[in-house]
Amino acid sequence: MTVHAFKMQLKPGVVEEYRRRHDEIWPQLSTLLSDSGIYDYSIFLDEETLSLFAVLKLREDNSRETLPDHPVMRRWWDYMAPLMEVQPSNQPKEWPLPLLFHMD
């Protein structure tokens, strides 16, 4: 198991829409993420900066690196692109967050 943490950035005025879309996450996307070895996935919001902080766990045999090639993932990114800072492919821009402290 690996823990992966990263930051993303929302655009102003879209917090409620971002929340709504995640509250109604597509079942096929949830299945894809699970089948790719992702679990225990949370996204937190810094309301002052509109930064999103995501933390997810990856199974040893995960295939997270193949997600950008999957049509469901690409459709989700296209759907979310108006709300976030994205790359030309509409993949959300991610900034990795290195672990500085952990306590079990």
- From residue 65, alpha-carbon distances to 6, 49, 55, 61 in Å are 15, 28, 16, 11
Closest CA to 29 of 81, 74, 85, 95: 74
Q: Is 4 noted as a catalytic residue in this protein? A: no
Dist. CA 38–CA 56, nearest whole Å? 7
Catalytic site residue from 4, 22, 70, 102 = 22
Dist. CA 90–CA 68, nearest whole Å? 10
- In eight-state DSSP terms, residue 5 is E
Residues involved in catalysis: 22
